[in-house]
Amino acid sequence: MSFRREKFVPKGGPDGGDGGRGGNVTVVADSGDTTLSAYRHRRRFRAQHGRPGEAGNRRGGDGADVLLHVPPGTLVRDGDEVIADLFAPGMRVVAVRGGRGGRGNARFATSTRQAPRAAELGQPGEQRRMRLELKLIADAGLVGLPNAGKSTLLAALTGAHPKIAAYPFTTLHPNLGVVQTEDGRTVVLADVPGLIAGAHQGAGLGIDFLRHVERTRMLVHVVDASAGVDAARAALRTVLEELGAFSPALAARPTLIAFNKLDVPAAAETADMLLHDHPGSHRISAARGDGLGDLIAALVTMAGQARAPEPLTATEPDDATHRVYRHRPRRAAAPLVTREDGAYRVSEPSIERAVQMTDLDNSDAVTRLHRRLQRAGVDDALSAAGCVDGDTVRIAGEEFTYVDGGLAP
């Protein structure tokens, strides 16, 4: 609230400027990030407040936004509600909005009220507890039956140190490793729990596993060649059937097949026989290091091709540039009055917002609020709910006393 005071300008009138908008919290998919580890220790973020308005009808500056960078493929959730699915680099969503600035007293001047002594407070910004869920955890996922040698292969290719043992489901949680070539190219690999028959229905650790590889760009199918030709073929068939049952798109993902454990004498003969059925496959020994150079070269080449951007289709709109508009009725809904701990609670977003933006220490602002609540039907709704003189009424964290058919702070 301000009035123009200047020499030789009598009755300068109100000149209080509006406050600035509060900053937003925006989540951005950034291809430079591969994990959500940046949010392991810091989990509370606050955008900047808007600046107050000033004399001379000067508007306050807007608060700075906060950008939260996440890997592409991140789901932003609020409870069970999916706020956004940031599946492509550059996509963003305003997850929490800042409140608008309050209006200065210059905005309330009229022909009959030329010196208003009331101004609005800023609207409180939103608060939200969000959950970030990363579905795209790697460029390539290692798939196969338990004990096929996936963890050993991850360790040999990336230097990771997963738990390795000769019993089913040694791997209980995804392990990540980065393959880096001499020319600086990198591929992120994920070793996840092995598949068994019925995994798409939750058998073993199947559902958890399949969710992790659902968005990997390619798959590396690791097969234990030491078990014999029939067992290797059955392993290939089981894994493909489970992938297809969970998601046909997952079964159609670009795949490299690696026949592992050539350090076992009988495995080399099995791999040679299976190469005729699956040309382009690789014979490797993760434990001894045989054939890993060729596998890395093929892995990097296929991953680079899988990263190439695809043209947008009707089912994948460019959400990064599209806006969604929702209808908001101009007239406020009838206020809802409920009983609460011996008091009455008035619930309606526009009414609550009006109370939050009113300076209750300013008599002119309170008078204006009372007129607004009366026009919105608050007094009538309270009377119909049985409110009598002396009862406490709560609106948006503030308490009022019901007196003579109206509210008093």
User: Looking at the predicted structure, is the pLDDT value of residue 45 above 90?
Assistant: yes
Residue 53 CB-density burial (10 A; 0-12 exposed, 13-18 middle, 19+ buried):
buried
Nearest by Cα to 104 from 177, 18, 202, 176 = 18
CA–CA dist 359, 108 (Å, integer): 15
CA–CA dist 387, 409 (Å, integer): 16
Percent of the chain surpassing pLDDT 70: 83
Better-scored residue on pLDDT, 71 or 62: 62
173 CB-near residues (< 8 Å, 6+ apart) = 193
Asked if residue 280 lies in contact with residue 245, where contact means CB atoms within 8 angstroms, the answer is no
Give the C-alpha distances (Å, rounded to integers) separating 200 from 123, 144, 248, 368.
Answer: 48, 14, 12, 62
The pair of three-digit structure tokens given for residue 228, joined into one six-digit string: 């014999």
Percent of the chain surpassing pLDDT 90: 22
User: Looking at the predicted structure, is the pLDDT value of residue 238 above 60?
Assistant: yes
Nearest by Cα to 315 from 87, 62, 163 = 87
User: Looking at the predicted structure, is the pLDDT value of residue 19 above 90?
Assistant: yes
For β-strands 25-29 and 81-86, DSSP reports them as: unpaired
CA–CA dist 247, 252 (Å, integer): 9
Q: Which amino acid is at 54?
A: E
SS3 (DSSP) at 326: coil
Q: How confident is the model at residue 35 (pLDDT cuts 50, 70, 90)?
A: confident
Better-scored residue on pLDDT, 404 or 400: 400
The pair of three-digit structure tokens given for residue 107, joined into one six-digit string: 């905005």
CA–CA dist 373, 358 (Å, integer): 12
Kindly provide the b/e burial profile for residues 139-154, where b requires at least 16 CB atoms within 10 angstroms of the residue's own CB: bbbbbbbbbbbbbbbb
CA–CA dist 405, 40 (Å, integer): 53
Domains and CATH numbers, the chain: 1-133 (2.70.210.12), 140-307 (3.40.50.300), 336-408 (3.30.300.350)
Phi, psi torsion values for 292, nearest 5 degrees:
-75, -30
Q: What is the Cα Rg of the chain in Å?
A: 32
CA–CA dist 134, 149 (Å, integer): 25
CA–CA dist 135, 367 (Å, integer): 54
Max CA-CA distance within the chain? Answer: 105
Classify the phi-psi angles of 358: left when phi > 0, otherwise alpha if psi is within -120 to 50, otherwise beta: beta
**Predicted confidence (pLDDT) per residue in 249-307, tens digit:** 777 888 889 898 888 888 888 888 888 888 888 988 888 888 888 888 888 888 877 65
162 CB-near residues (< 8 Å, 6+ apart) = 151, 154, 155, 171, 175, 191
Better-scored residue on pLDDT, 150 or 159: 150
User: Looking at the predicted structure, is the pLDDT value of residue 356 above 60?
Assistant: yes
Nearest by Cα to 309 from 70, 87, 141 = 87
SS3 (DSSP) at 17: coil
CA–CA dist 353, 108 (Å, integer): 18
Mean pLDDT of 78-101: 89
CA–CA dist 402, 390 (Å, integer): 5
Asked if residue 238 lies in contact with residue 200, where contact means CB atoms within 8 angstroms, the answer is no
